[in-house]
Amino acid sequence: MCCSGRDCGCMGMPSEPPVCSEKCYKIYTMKAYCINLKERADRWAQVQADLAKLQIPVERFEAIWDVVGHQGCIKSHVQLIRQVKHEGLFMILEDDIKLIGSMPDLFKALAQLPPDWDMLYLGATLMRPLVRYSPNLFRLQSGMTTHAIIYNNQNRVCEYIIEHMNGAHVDVFMMQVQKLFNCYITYPMIMTQFPGDSDTTGDWTDYEEIERTYNKYTK
């Protein structure tokens, strides 16, 4: 089942357009890509298990290692976006995601997106209160972390990222992108991050801040 059927009229019996709406069909056939260091096979196994619950196919992208951790993160995101931007609609995950939402939550949010949307965050550390857009969406202009994002390249957000991402940390740069493009975050949150040693900084991180700020700023 690709959705409840109430939004696109397919009655929960997905087929090809026009039985399903074109929007519904694109979402149902969307692919996910996971940035993963070869040394972290354990994380890749967990991502595959979580994405199976969402019925979304996922492919592994080998992370680009750099002695400066955040530079490797930048290179990985930019290279992966460059490789898959032609698909138009796709999901990029980091390998420490923790699934806390469900497929119905995700599809409700996707169904409520406006036609001109560019990025949908499935979770983020929020810096200030958000403005609600719909029952399952908030506008996002101040979200850190890049562990789970769906991209829609209709307005060339991917080209902007490729051309302008510089030495800043990925999530800091993405806050600039959020102010220039139409970015949203799901409600409720779909994914946070598992605690553990960060491959970027090498420090232990528990990521409690993600859920704490989300709960604080989406009231």
pLDDT, one tens digit per residue, over 132-191 is 999 999 999 999 999 999 999 999 999 999 999 987 789 999 999 999 999 999 999 999
- Position 13 in a domain: no
Query: Tokens 């983020």 sit at which residue?
Result: 124
- Which residues lie closer than 8 Å to 136 by C-beta, 6 or more apart? 105, 108, 109, 112, 186, 187, 188
On the question of pLDDT at 64 being above 90, the answer is yes
Q: Quick one: how far is CA 215 from the chain centroid?
A: 18
Instruction: Say which amino acid occupies 38.
Output: K
User: Which residue range forms the structural domain that includes residue 98?
Assistant: 22-217
Q: Pairing mode, if any, of strands 148-152 and 132-134? A: unpaired
- Position 72 in a domain: yes
Report the CATH number that the domain containing residue 84 is assigned in CATH. 3.90.550
206 pLDDT tier (thresholds 50, 70, 90): low
% of the chain beyond a pLDDT of 70: 84
70 pLDDT tier (thresholds 50, 70, 90): confident
- Position 90 in a domain: yes
- Position 55 in a domain: yes
On the question of pLDDT at 198 being above 60, the answer is no
Indicate the DSSP class of residue 154. G
Give the mean model confidence (pLDDT) for residues 81-88: 97
- Position 121 in a domain: yes
- Position 50 in a domain: yes
- Which residues lie closer than 8 Å to 75 by C-beta, 6 or more apart? 64, 66
Higher-confidence residue of 205 and 54: namely 54
Query: Tokens 């994405």 sit at which residue?
Result: 51
Task: Please state the domain count of the chain.
Answer: 1
**pLDDT of res. 21:** 61
Give the mean model confidence (pLDDT) for residues 65-91: 94
Distance CA 95, CA 38 (A): 11
**pLDDT of res. 83:** 98
- Position 209 in a domain: yes
- Position 12 in a domain: no
